[in-house]
């Protein structure tokens, strides 16, 4: 299976966040990411999909699963 690496801007679009917010989440260890040898950050699409499933809350559960 081939790995699809995405940019912060692509993940931001998927999550309805700004690229800056995505990078902040990555630096805090809140979202799975890969640091390339040159220091750039990329996101494995499958890892992010799996992570997102663990963050989703049902209506009425309160809180923001991404920012906690």
Considering the domain boundaries, does residue 41 fall inside one?
Answer: yes
Nearest to 66 by CA among 10, 53, 44: 53
The helix (H) or strand (E) run that includes residue 38 is none
Please compute the mean of the pLDDT values over residues 21-25 and round it to a whole number.
Answer: 95
> What residues make up the domain containing 48?
5-55
Task: Share the mean pLDDT of the chain.
Answer: 85
Question: What was the pLDDT predicted at 2?
Answer: 78
Please compute the mean of the pLDDT values over residues 34-43 and round it to a whole number.
Answer: 96
Question: What was the pLDDT predicted at 68?
Answer: 44
Considering the domain boundaries, does residue 9 fall inside one?
Answer: yes
The DSSP code sequence of 40-59 is -EEEEHHHHHHHHHHH---T
Q: Is the pLDDT of residue 25 over 70?
A: yes
Reported pTM: 0.77
Number of domains comprising the chain: 1
Q: Is the pLDDT of residue 61 over 60?
A: no
């Amino acid at each position: 299976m081939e790995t699809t690496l995405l940019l912060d801007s692509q993940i931001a679009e998927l999550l309805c966040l700004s690229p800056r917010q995505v990078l902040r989440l990555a630096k805090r260890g809140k979202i799975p990411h890969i640091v390339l040898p040159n220091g750039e950050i990329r996101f494995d699409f499958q890892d992010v999909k799996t992570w997102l499933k663990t963050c989703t809350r049902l209506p009425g559960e309160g809180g923001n699963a991404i920012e906690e």
